[in-house]
Structure 1
Amino acid sequence: MNLFDQRNPFVALIVLGSLIILIYSSWGIYAVSERSRQLDQFEHYQPYWQSLNLQNYAYVIEEGCMFASKTSATVRGGEHNFVQFENQHFGGSATIEYFFDQAAQAIKEAHHLELRFNGDYGFPEVIRVDWSKDIIDDECFYRVTKFKQHEL
């Protein structure tokens, strides 16, 4: 009896099992490489943002975890001032440094993460995170828009 006879049902099991292992291995390699890419970007952009040492700028914060808020932030001489546009009872005081902290935590702990940095200034522009695959409604997002550097 030849094990690899095409009429042998074990051949189909071996082939299908091998394909399943190959597919899951490829997915695992992608997931690890994506985290590595995000960590590399983080390690590149955070020192760049800090090196700019901007003292006067403005931006709009959109953030949400179950509830969403939109806030305008103005920084003058390193001091933050926040004006909330929407949902006065949630969020509204997130600094760029806070977004870096959230990105670092998400890179380490999140089930799924979408992370995009601003090419000119290096701050996290978009963070979309699903903290756990087993929990519904634990997804959060942070978005920085309308960033503008001010000159005194």
Structure 2
Amino acid sequence: MNLFDLRNPFVALIVLGSLIILIYSSWGIYAVSERSRELNQFEQYRAHWRSLNLRDYAYIIEEGCMSGSITSATVTGGEHNFVKYENQLFGGSSTIDDLFDVAEEAIKESHKLELRFNKDFGFPEKMRADWSKDIIDDECFFEVTEFKLNEL
């Protein structure tokens, strides 16, 4: 009796099981390396944003999880002033640094993520995150528009 005879159902089962384990291991290694690459790129954007040390700028942010808000933010001398346009029960005080924190968490923990950074200043400009593939309506988003430097 040959131990490696593929006509033997037990040997065939062991070979197939080993192949499945190998495939899933490779997929897991790819997923971990992809997240690592995304985090590395994310840190480069955050470092660029911080290096600019902007203290006077304005932006509008639309953000939400199941419900949304639109807020205008003006930063003068590093101090934020927020004006809520819609849905005053949710959001309304997210800073650019807060958006970096949300984006970092989404890179690490979300099931599905769309993330875009501003090419000039490096801040997260748009994000859509689905936190769990098994839960309906757990998606969150933000989009920064009308970002401009304030003229003194």
TM-score (norm 1): 0.79
- Tell me the CA shift for residue 136 of structure 1: 5.2
Query: Quick one: structure 1 residues 113 and 51, their matched pair in 2 at CA, closer, same or farther if it must change by over 3 Å?
Result: farther
Following superposition of structure 1 onto structure 2, how do residues 35-54 of structure 1 map, counting pairs within 5 Å? 35-54=35-54
Asked if the contact 1:73–1:80 (Cα under 8 Å) also holds between the matched residues in 2, the reply is: yes
Q: Distance in 1 between matches of 2:23 and 2:127?
A: 28
Amino acid of the residue matched to residue 102 of structure 2? Q
Q: Distance in 1 between matches of 2:34 and 2:87?
A: 34
Query: Alignment identity in percent?
Result: 74
Q: Distance in 1 between matches of 2:34 and 2:112?
A: 9
CA RMSD in angstroms, aligned pairs only? 2.5
- Tell me the CA shift for residue 93 of structure 1: 1.0
Amino acid of the residue matched to residue 83 of structure 1? V
Structure 1 residue aligned with 2:118: 118
- Tell me the CA shift for residue 35 of structure 1: 2.1
CA shift digits 1:32-70 (9 cap, x unpaired): 112211221232122211121222222221211222222
Amino acid of the residue matched to residue 64 of structure 2? G
Amino acid of the residue matched to residue 9 of structure 2? P
Structure 2 residue aligned with 1:139: 139
The secondary structure found in structure 2 opposite 1:121 is coil
- Tell me the CA shift for residue 134 of structure 1: 6.2
Q: Distance in 2 between matches of 1:37 and 1:145?
A: 27
Structure 2 residue aligned with 1:67: 67
The secondary structure found in structure 2 opposite 1:32 is helix
CA shift digits 1:105-140 (9 cap, x unpaired): 4445x2436343222101112333444566554432
TM-score (norm 2): 0.79
- Tell me the CA shift for residue 91 of structure 1: 0.4
Q: Distance in 1 between matches of 2:64 and 2:17?
A: 42
Q: Distance in 2 between matches of 1:23 and 1:71?
A: 46
Query: Quick one: structure 1 residues 146 and 17, their matched pair in 2 at CA, closer, same or farther if it must change by over 3 Å?
Result: farther
The secondary structure found in structure 2 opposite 1:74 is strand
- Tell me the CA shift for residue 90 of structure 1: 0.6
